[in-house]
Structure 1
Amino acid sequence: MPHRLFVRQFTRVTLVLVLVSLLAACAGTATVSKITPPPGYRLLWSDEFDGKEIDTQNWTYDLGAGGWGNGEAEYYTGRSENARLENGMLVIEARQEKYEGSYYTSARLKTKGLQNFQYGRIEARLKVPAGKGMWPAFWMLGSTFDGSNWPDCGEIDIMEYIGKEPDLIMGTAHGPGYSGALGISMWNRQTFDIADDFHTYAIEWQEGQIDWYFDGQLYHTVKRADVGDREWVFDQPFFIILNLAVGGQLPGPIGLDVTFPRQYLVDYVRVFEKAQ
C-alpha cells in the first residue's frame, strides 16, 4: 500500500474512533447534566444504568450462600441471569433453580473498594418485588468491613422491604450494642402496596446525624445522642450495597403462591455532597 494512502486511511479511522468516543462521552455528560441536585447539594457520583453492561468501576459482587447471617435461602452469583442492565435500569433477579447446592439464586452488588462515601445525600429510585419472602435492600456498610467486624464497622439500612408487609419499608442504623433487633429503626407504613410502583429512598447524612426519606418525605432521624454511651460509628466512609435476598429471619418463609423469577429494579443511584 502506498505510504500516503496508508496515512490517509489511518487518519480517517483515528478520526472516526475519536468522534465515537466524544459522542459517547457527550451522551454520558448529557445524562448527568439532566440531574437536578436537591437544594444545597451538588452531584458527587451517580450510576444511571444507561449502558449495556454493569460498570465494573462502580460495582462488584458478593458471591455464595450460607445464609449470610440471616438464614437466607439464595446463592448470590455474578451471572447476567441474576444481575444485568435492561432498558436503562439495573435488574436484580431472584430465580428458583438448583445452583451449587441452593434452590434459589439472586445477586448482591456493592461499591466496596471502588466507591466509598462519607456524608451527603445518598438516593436511589427503586421498584421492589412483591411476594412473601422477598427481601430487597438498599444499604451501606463501613468501608472497614472485613467480614468479621460487624457491627463495629457500622451499617446504614437506607431501605429494607419485606414482602409479607406490602405497605411497609424500614430505615435502620446498626452499630456496636445496637445491632440486629436492637438497631435504631423506624417502620414507615403507607396506605398502598409499595411494590406496585417506583419510589425514591434516601438518607441525608452529616456529622452526628442521619435522616431517612421516602419519596422526599422525612420519616426517621438518628443522632449521636440516640446511641447514648455506645459508640457512634457513622463519621467514616461507607460503601453502597444493593441486593435481593430470598427468605430469611426477617421476611420469613417464601410464600407458596410466589412465582419466580422476581425482579428488583434500580433506576439510578446518586450521591450528592453539600454545596460549598
Structure 2
Amino acid sequence: MYKLVWAEEFDKPGPPNPKNWKFETGFVRNEEHQFYQAQNARCEKSNLIIEARRESIKNPAFKSGSNNWRENREFAEITSASLSTSGLQSWQYGRFEMRAKIDTQLGLWPAFWTLGTEGEWPSNGEIDIMEFYRGQLLANVAWGTKQRWNAKWNSKKTPLESLGRDWTKKFHVWRMDWDETAIELFVDNRLLNRTELATATNPDGKCPFKQPHYILVNLAVGGQNGGDFSQTKFPTRYEIDYIRVYQKTVV
C-alpha cells in the first residue's frame, strides 16, 4: 500500500517553489550546448514549463584559449533550465511519478532522473526514469566501476515509432517503483526496465540504490547524445503537470 509523501503540483504561478527546487547554472555536463539559468523555468497554468531558447548570452566562465568545453565558448547560443531537489528533498525507496509532455525534435534531451545523496558519480547511483533523444525513449540505471567516472549501465531504449501515433502531442506518465530488491521503470504502465539491486553494486560491494536519492528535471540540447539541433524550432517546452513520491506504509 503506497502513501503520498511528497508532491509538487506547480499550482502557484511564477518561479518554482524554492523549498523544493534549486537550479543548476552554466555549462554543466555531457558537453551540452545549453547554458542553464533559472529564468528558463516557470510555473504556468499548473504546469512547470522548462523552456529552451535560442539566444546569445555571455559565458561568465569564458577563458580565451582554454581547452575546457565549459570555458572555451565566450557566448552560449542556447539557454535552458535544470532543477534539482538536492539538499532539499530526498527519499529512499518508493514510487516516483511524473506526468509530462516532451518535445521530440532532434537535438533535444529532456530528462527526469535521480542521483544518490552520497558518493561521487557514478558510484552514488543514477536512475533515469525518463530520457529522450534521437528518436528513442530511454530508461536507465547506472552505478560505479573500477574506473573513475565510468559507469556500468542497464539501459533500455524504446523507439518513438513503437509508442503510437500522435504520442508526442500528449501528456504521459513516467513511473519508478523502487524497493529493497529492484528498480522498475515504466511509461503509461508499460514496463521498460527492471534492475535487480543485487546486481547493481559498486566494486566495493556497496549498492548505491540503498541510500536516499534526489530528483532532477532538465531540458538539455545537443551535447554527447542530444544530436544536431540546427533545424530545431525554438523556443521549445518540456511541460510537467506534477511530480509525486509515494512510499509503502507499514501494516
TM range (shorter): 0.7 to 0.9
- Cα deviation, 1:194-223, whole Å, max 9, x if unaligned, reads 422110001000013101111012221100
Return 5+ residue gaps in structure 2 as ranges. Answer: 59-74
Aligned-partner Cα distance in 1 for 2:163–2:55:
34
Please state how far the C-alpha of 1:144 moved relative to its aligned partner. 2.1
Aligned-partner Cα distance in 2 for 1:229–1:126:
32
- Are the aligned partners of 1:174 and 1:180 in contact in 2 as well (CA < 8 Å)? no
Please state how far the C-alpha of 1:263 moved relative to its aligned partner. 0.3
Q: What secondary structure is seen at the aligned counterpart in 1 of 2:163? A: coil
How high is the sequence identity, in percent, across the aligned residues?
38
Please state how far the C-alpha of 1:253 moved relative to its aligned partner. 1.9
2:123 aligned residue: 152
Change (3 A) 1:191 1:45: closer
Pick which of 193-202 and 113-122 moved more.
193-202
**Structure (1 or 2) with the greater helix fraction:** 1
Change (3 A) 1:201 1:180: farther
Work out which of the residue numbers 82, 87, 99 in structure 2 matches 1:113.
87
Work out which of the residue numbers 35, 40, 54 in structure 2 matches 1:75.
35
- Cα deviation, 1:96-141, whole Å, max 9, x if unaligned, reads 0001221000000000111111100000001011211100000001
Aligned-partner Cα distance in 1 for 2:168–2:76:
26
Is 1:191 the counterpart of 2:166 in the alignment? Answer: no
Aligned-partner Cα distance in 1 for 2:137–2:150:
16
Aligned-partner Cα distance in 2 for 1:86–1:180:
39
Please state how far the C-alpha of 1:227 moved relative to its aligned partner. 3.5
Name the aligned partner's letter for residue 226 of structure 1. T
**Structure (1 or 2) with the greater strand fraction:** 2
Name the aligned partner's letter for residue 155 of structure 1. E
- Are the aligned partners of 1:203 and 1:211 in contact in 2 as well (CA < 8 Å)? yes
2:67 aligned residue: none
Give the alignment's Cα RMSD to 1 decimal. Answer: 1.8
Q: How does 1:113-152 map to 2 (within 5 A)?
A: 113-144=87-118, 149-152=120-123
Aligned-partner Cα distance in 2 for 1:187–1:78:
30
Work out which of the residue numbers 211, 214, 219 in structure 2 matches 1:244.
219
Return 5+ residue gaps in structure 1 as ranges. Answer: 1-39
1:177 aligned residue: 145
- Are the aligned partners of 2:13 and 2:45 in contact in 1 as well (CA < 8 Å)? no
With normalisation by structure 2, the TM-score equals: 0.85
Aligned residues: 226
